[in-house]
Amino acid sequence: MSAKRVIQIPEKKLTDALVRKADDPMWRLDWPDKEGPIDLATQDLPHDSANTEWWYLNSHFKTEQGKELSIFAAFFRIVRHYDPATQVAQYAHTLLYAVADPADQQYYPVGYVDPDCCHLIIERLKTHKATDKKINIAMLEMLEQGVMPLPDVPMDDRTLRVATDKLDLNFSGNTLTKDAHGVYHLKCHLESRGVGFDLKFQPQKQAIRQGHKGLTHVGRKGEEMFYYFIPRHAVTGNVTLGGITSKVVGQGWYDHEFGGTIQPSATPAMPRIASAAPLASPHKGDDEDSKMQMDGDAATPATKKAKSTASCWRFHGWR
């Protein structure tokens, strides 16, 4: 693989990508209505108007041997380039997932980066150099040879799929889909590391809007995003650690966030996979699920980063 090789990044013509609703310039045409239930059949799908979009799930469960484990997975799609003349967008993709074993104080992360990530990082380093010049030189030397620094894994672009008519994501064989009964199916596995899971998420609650009617502001520029979550699912399936697979039963969380502003010729920074911390979503019981969006940091559980593996994966609210 060469960093200079041109990857055929999936592209799409975004006819209404930059159009806002007349009565509220913050609201995109493909966002949910401001009031009423969220139509998951439509809103679980990718959004043309989104510069940044992700689908995130986590679960806390016990194996058939009684061992407590946790997992999470986050699928990201970002507009890499947008041509307003042709209204065509090109995308970059990343995937982060992990299994956490709190009893043994072990954390098993896996990060897949876009097939063209070497080229994207080179572009980034040219304008945002590392403080340490030697690190900058070493990084460029590796990337120009098409070598991605460990522990990240380049995706196989031949298996990259983001369906537009149903929730069907395939990032290098790692998938997130939803069946006709509304059950989410999450499958992630990296055979070379013997880490993965195959889980079903059966919703037990309705989708809830985060922030003001679903509108949130993120990043240094406070860009508008729409954010909803389903705080409780019944989770079943299996998990693999060290090549050993066990059945599991537990509970889970799902959220979907999309928005930001698509800019002409946008080249955003890729998510930092290797050093990314796991994200936590505490569960507080039947009467508290719908209140989690109301109080400061507790209001945004899916954006809270762990300060350490041990502290994050205790998840006191789930006990």
How far apart are alpha carbons 230 and 50 in whole angstroms? 21
Q: DSSP of 3-50, one letter per residue?
A: TTSPP---EEE-TTTT-EETTEEEEETTSPPSSS---HHHHTS--TT-
Looking at per-residue pLDDT, the higher value among 68 and 126 belongs to: 68
Contacts of 152 (CB under 8 A, 6+ apart): 111, 112, 113, 117, 273, 274
Q: Note the pLDDT tens digit of each residue in 211-254.
A: 889 998 887 677 889 999 999 999 999 999 988 999 999 999 99
How far apart are alpha carbons 150 and 275 in whole angstroms? 11
pTM value is 0.79
Mean pLDDT of the chain, nearest integer = 78
How far apart are alpha carbons 292 and 300 in whole angstroms? 7
Place of tokens 């960093």: 3
How far apart are alpha carbons 124 and 4 in whole angstroms? 14
Q: Write down the pLDDT at residue 46.
A: 95
Q: Can you name the residues that pair with 280 across neighbouring β-strands?
A: 304
Q: What letter would DSSP give residue 120?
A: H
Q: Write down the pLDDT at residue 121.
A: 80
Q: Can you name the residues that pair with 249 across neighbouring β-strands?
A: 62, 236
Q: Write down the pLDDT at residue 152.
A: 84
**Burial of 101 from C-beta contacts in 10 A (0-12 / 13-18 / 19+):** middle
Give the mean model confidence (pLDDT) for residues 166-193.
95
pLDDT over 90, % of the chain: 44
Q: Can you name the residues that pair with 245 across neighbouring β-strands?
A: 240
How far apart are alpha carbons 217 and 156 in whole angstroms? 33
Q: Write down the pLDDT at residue 223.
A: 80
Give the mean model confidence (pLDDT) for residues 85-108.
90
The domains found in the chain, sorted by start residue, are 49-318 (2.40.370.10)
Q: Write down the pLDDT at residue 129.
A: 66
Best CA proximity match to 230, nearest among 254, 249, 212, 213 = 254
